[in-house]
Amino acid sequence: MQSRSNDPFELEAMTALRRDFHAHPELGFEEVRTSAIVAEKLEEAGIEVHRGLGKTGLVGTLKIGDGSRRIALRADMDALAMPELADRPYKSGTPNTMHACGHDGHTVMLLAAARHLARTKNFSGTVHFIFQPAEEGRGGAKAMVDEGFFKQFPVDAVYGLHNMPGLATDEMAVVSGPQLASSDSWTVTYRGVGTHGAKPHLGRDAVTAAAHFLAAIHTIVARVVDPLQPAVVSACALEAGDFKALNVIPDIVRIGGTARAYRADVRDQLELEIGNIARGVAATFGIEVDYEFLRRIPPVVNDGDATARALKAAQAATGRPVVTDFPPSTAGDDFAFFGAEVPGAYVWLGNGPAVDGALHHNSRYDFNDDAILTGARFWATLVEQELSA
């Protein structure tokens, strides 16, 4: 991949590489091919590469001049376990695996910026390019942090970027404060006494208890959480009984779901109240209950100073007004584990109209290659401004 003066970000080659990644998607902690290609392209540009952090994760380090400030830029590499239903020349060739969230584009944009910065050297300081595995619920960021990312690569600030359907490909949104919600899982298991469906009085009905629980949990957001604080409690899985035995009331009913919040105290409140309702219903029906709340991903909350720096870079990179009142999302992103350690900012880059399967996690989604240039410009501009020579 040789740069040309009129193509500083190697757009033709990077577009081809993005489509190659799309055709060869890999799930979290399985990004062997993807990370190997990224490492090769970084080393080819003279960037030092550290492999194997978080299994398939890697970090590229570029130090120019004697500047003391150090920053990190993060892109995620993993795909999702779902089939690709749209027909395109670079359609996924891996069964039940596709890039349905644009991580192929995220990887290429950061790679393009890294190679550009290695050639131009128009900054003074240290930048670490994080190519993270397993963002889609498998814990890649936490793995990298737990394995010593901040000890090996101390930084003053960290930045993340995600594509957003509905914004134009040369448009960005940069907002201080909450960006993404905490993403936690919970399970409630009711243990009753099974009996004949015609003789419910001889047992303890866990199914009816579960029904009361499912109705009651929606009072948490409606009647317990401060109405000015966004929160979500959703039941998403239910296991009980057998449709081949519709005259049997089962002993056990298992329910599972998700909880989302933007503030730590609201997150605590959701954990407490789901458990209170689970135990209260169990007491009402005279049955046993097991409750587990699994804290998976904290909320992403943008630091004020880091956000101001990102906003300045976005304005310069796009040459147009940057959206600063973009609403937060109830989705989650484990970039939160990086942002919890040092000041951080997570920004949005347009992916074009939100139509024809363009929404994230849709089986017809595709990253919009027109956004590669904007994303690469943003990353390069942010480095050159933050680490001004």
Catalytic residue positions, numbered? 78, 135
- In whole angstroms, give the CA distance from residue 277 to residue 213: 7
Note whether 84 and 24 are within 8 A (CB): no
Note whether 245 and 256 are within 8 A (CB): no
Neighbours of 267 (CB within 10 A): 21
Structure-token pair, residue 59? 């970090």
Structure-token pair, residue 13? 């080659």
Note whether 131 and 77 are within 8 A (CB): yes
- In whole angstroms, give the CA distance from residue 337 to residue 347: 16
Helix intervals (H) in 186-321: 206-216, 218-219, 264-285, 304-318
Note whether 287 and 200 are within 8 A (CB): no
End-to-end alpha carbon distance in the chain: 27
- Residue 198, strand partner residues: none
Q: How far is CA 244 from the centre of its chain?
A: 40
Structure-token pair, residue 148? 């010593």
For residues 126, 138, 85, 102, the Cα torsion angle rounded to the nearest 10 degrees is: -20
- In whole angstroms, give the CA distance from residue 42 to residue 49: 7
Q: Which amino acid is at 114?
A: A
Structure-token pair, residue 74? 């993060």
CA-to-CA separations, 42 to 59, 90, 118, 119, 156, in angstroms, rounded? 10, 24, 9, 11, 23
